[in-house]
């Protein structure tokens, strides 16, 4: 499955790309979204950015607020067609756990 198939969107703070959201690969039919932040981001800031991007009633999965994921290309130059992030994204039990590698969703589906 391609990341582009999951309606990815950049999350912006002060005009800078700080992360992105995409439809959760295992819960997309239920309307759930997953998120990925490039630097540790407190939960209240994640919530503000996610609510602004999706609306307050849209279900989403936040990231670990003490972690950050490394993109293969610096955020201003990245695109979803070939983006990789490390380490894996792990939503916990019942959620998607896998990798985004060269724009592909790998594992956990």
Q: What is the pLDDT of residues 25-38, one digit of tens each?
A: 987 777 899 999 99
What's the pLDDT at 109? 67
73 band by pLDDT with thresholds 50, 70 and 90: very high
Work out the mean pLDDT of the chain and round it to a whole number: 92
Question: How many residues can be counted in the chain?
Answer: 109
What is the SS3 assignment for 50?
helix
Q: What does the pLDDT average to over 76-97?
A: 89
| Count of Cβ atoms closer than 10 Å to residue 56 Cβ | 8
- CA-to-CA distance for 56 and 15, rounded, in angstroms? 21
Q: What percent of the chain has pLDDT over 70?
A: 99
Q: What is the pTM of this model?
A: 0.92
């Amino acid at each position: 499955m391609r990341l582009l198939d999951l309606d990815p969107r950049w999350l912006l703070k002060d005009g800078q790309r700080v992360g992105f959201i995409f439809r959760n690969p295992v819960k997309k039919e239920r309307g759930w979204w997953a998120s990925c932040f490039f630097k540790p981001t407190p939960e209240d800031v994640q919530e503000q950015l996610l609510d602004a991007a999706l609306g307050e009633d849209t279900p989403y999965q936040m990231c670990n607020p003490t972690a950050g994921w490394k993109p293969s290309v610096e955020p201003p130059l990245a695109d979803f067609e070939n983006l990789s992030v490390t380490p894996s994204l792990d939503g916990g039990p019942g959620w998607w756990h896998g990798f985004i590698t060269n724009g592909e969703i790998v594992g956990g589906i």
